[in-house]
Structure formats: structure tokens, C-alpha cells
Amino acid sequence: MSHEDLLAEAARQNAALELREHAPAEPADHSASPGHYSDLQSAVRFPIKLPIFVKSKSGESRTQSDNVSCNGVLFHLDAEVPVGSPVDFTIALPADVVGADSDVRVDCRGRVVRSFADDGRCGVGVVIDEYRFERH
């Protein structure tokens, strides 16, 4: 599957999630409750390696995504970030993938919903609560 196909599928997944979260019969709940977390985990994940710059209470770090979904991202850090912690991070989308003249930054704000030890590093699953596209 090409990068363009992966991004298109992620956009379709995001649109479906938006419709489901804003349905009148079932109000959106952005808490980290176990039921909501399982909904977040059910989104299709794409094994895309994208550069990420992370800022949290544990410090600043450069890493890359392990996988991306319409709800969030999984990456690894050297420092532990506890579940529930707020995280600001920037994902760089390569210009050739998004059809732009230069890379597109996605500035995100989210919270850690999963944290686990993995081969001497810390795996961190973050749900994206807010995002903004920046072109430079």
C-alpha cells in the first residue's frame, strides 16, 4: 500500500470516527475509561515511520512513529511517560507523500493511554485530542 493510500485510509477512518463520536444517541466521551480505550484501539493502525518531536513533563525527545491510526500514534522514548500524562508532539509528513512543496507539520496535543517497557525503552501510546496542520 502506498503512502498516499495509507493517508487516504487514515482520513476515511478519521471521518468515520468523527461521525460515530458526534452521533446524537451516543455523546462523545474523551475520557480514558476502559470502554473508550478499547474503541481507540479498534482503529486500523498503519505501520508508518514518521519523524516525531515530543514534549512532555519528562522532557523533549526526537523519535519516530511505530504506527499511526486516526485516533493516535505509538512511538518509543528513552524516558517513561505515565498513563494520563499530557503530551505535545509534532509529526512531520514528507512533502512527496502529501503532495506539497515542503514537509507538512502536524502539531498535536494528546494524552498517554498506554505505556510499557520494551527492550530497554518505553513504548508510548498517545491518543490525539487536538491537532493543527502547519505548512512551511
- Rounded Cα distance between 94 and 23, Å, is 34
> What is this structure's pTM?
0.69
For the chain, what is the domain count? 1
pLDDT by 10s per residue, the chain, length 136? 554 555 555 555 544 444 344 333 333 333 444 444 455 566 899 999 999 999 988 789 999 999 999 999 999 999 999 999 999 999 999 999 889 999 999 999 999 999 999 999 999 999 999 999 987 6
Determine which helix (DSSP H) or strand (DSSP E) holds 3, and give its type and residue range: helix 3-21
Partners of 19 in beta bridges: none
Domain that holds residue 50: 3-135
Predicted pLDDT at 33: 45
CATH of residue 60's domain is 2.40.10.220
